[in-house]
Structure 1
Amino acid sequence: MPTLDRRALLLAGMASALGTKSARAAFPERPIQLVVPFAPAGGTDIAARRLGETLAGLLRQSVIIDNRPGANGIVAGQAVVKAPADGHTLLVATAASFAAAPALGQKLPYDVAHDFAPIAMLGLFPLVLNASPTLPVSSLAEFIAYAKARPGELNFASAGIGGTNHLVFEMLMQATGIKLAHVPYRGAGLAAADLLSGQVQVMIDSLAASLGNLQGGKLKALGVTTAARQPQLPELPTLREQGVDVVYPGWASIVAPASVPAETLRTLNTAINAAMADAKLVARYRELVIEPVAWTRDETGAFMARDRSVLSELVAKTGIKLAE
Structure 2
Amino acid sequence: MPHAGTGRRAALILGAGALAAPALAQGTNPGKFPDRPIRLIVPWPPGGSADAQLRSLAELAAKTLGQPVLVENRPGASGTLGAQFLTTQAKPDGYTLGQMHMSIVRRPFIVRTPPWDPVNDFTHVIGLCGWMYGIVVKADGPIRSWADYLAHARANPGRLTYATSGIATTNHLAMEEIAARERIDIVHVPYRASNEAAVAVTAGEVMSVADSSSWGPLVESGALRLICVWTAERSPRFPEAPTLRELGYDMVITSPYGISGPKGMDPGVTRALHDAFHAALMDPANTAVRAQFDMPLEYYPTAEYRQFIARRAEYEQGMARKLNLRID
Aligned-residue RMSD, C-alpha: 2.6
Using a 3 Å threshold, how does the CA distance of structure 1 residues 290 and 45 change in structure 2: closer, same or farther?
A: same
- 8 Å CA contact 1:34–1:89 kept in 2: the answer is yes
Give 1:179's aligned residue: 185
Deviation at 1:56, TM superposition (A): 0.5
Give 1:295's aligned residue: 300
Identify which of 307, 315, 318 aligns with 2:320. Answer: 315
Task: Quote the Cα distance in structure 2 between the aligned partners of 1:185 and 1:210.
Answer: 14
Task: Quote the Cα distance in structure 2 between the aligned partners of 1:189 and 1:294.
Answer: 27
**Are 1:38 and 2:44 an aligned pair?**
yes
- 8 Å CA contact 1:33–1:89 kept in 2: the answer is yes
Using a 3 Å threshold, how does the CA distance of structure 1 residues 284 and 21 change in structure 2: closer, same or farther?
A: farther
Give structure 2 stretches of 5+ with no counterpart: 1-6
Task: Quote the Cα distance in structure 1 between the aligned partners of 2:25 and 2:67.
Answer: 15
TM-score, structure 1 as length reference = 0.89
Give 1:273's aligned residue: 278
- 8 Å CA contact 1:171–1:246 kept in 2: the answer is no
Give 1:62's aligned residue: 68
- 8 Å CA contact 2:108–2:116 kept in 1: the answer is no
Give 2:94's aligned residue: 87
Task: Quote the Cα distance in structure 1 between the aligned partners of 2:146 and 2:219.
Answer: 15
**Are 1:304 and 2:306 an aligned pair?**
no
Task: Quote the Cα distance in structure 2 between the aligned partners of 1:172 and 1:20.
Answer: 45
Give 2:105's aligned residue: 98
**Are 1:217 and 2:222 an aligned pair?**
yes
Which deviates the most, 62-71 or 269-278? 269-278
- 8 Å CA contact 1:117–1:257 kept in 2: the answer is yes
Deviation at 1:114, TM superposition (A): 1.6
Task: Quote the Cα distance in structure 2 between the aligned partners of 1:317 and 1:218.
Answer: 36
- 8 Å CA contact 2:138–2:207 kept in 1: the answer is yes
Deviation at 1:10, TM superposition (A): 4.9
Task: Quote the Cα distance in structure 2 between the aligned partners of 1:291 and 1:210.
Answer: 16
Residues 198-237 of structure 1 aligned to structure 2 (within 5 Å):
198-207=204-213, 209-237=214-242
Task: Quote the Cα distance in structure 1 between the aligned partners of 2:103 and 2:28.
Answer: 39
Task: Quote the Cα distance in structure 2 between the aligned partners of 1:162 and 1:131.
Answer: 22
User: Percent sequence identity over matched residues?
Assistant: 31
Deviation at 1:133, TM superposition (A): 2.8
Residues 97-136 of structure 1 aligned to structure 2 (within 5 Å):
97-99=104-106, 101-105=107-111, 107-136=113-142
Task: Quote the Cα distance in structure 2 between the aligned partners of 1:282 and 1:305.
Answer: 27
Give structure 1 stretches of 5+ with no counterpart: none
Task: Quote the Cα distance in structure 2 between the aligned partners of 1:22 and 1:34.
Answer: 21
Aligned length: 320
TM-score, structure 2 as length reference = 0.88
1:171-194 superposed Cα distances (whole Å, 9 cap, x missing partner): 221232221122223333332222
Task: Quote the Cα distance in structure 2 between the aligned partners of 1:11 and 1:217.
Answer: 44
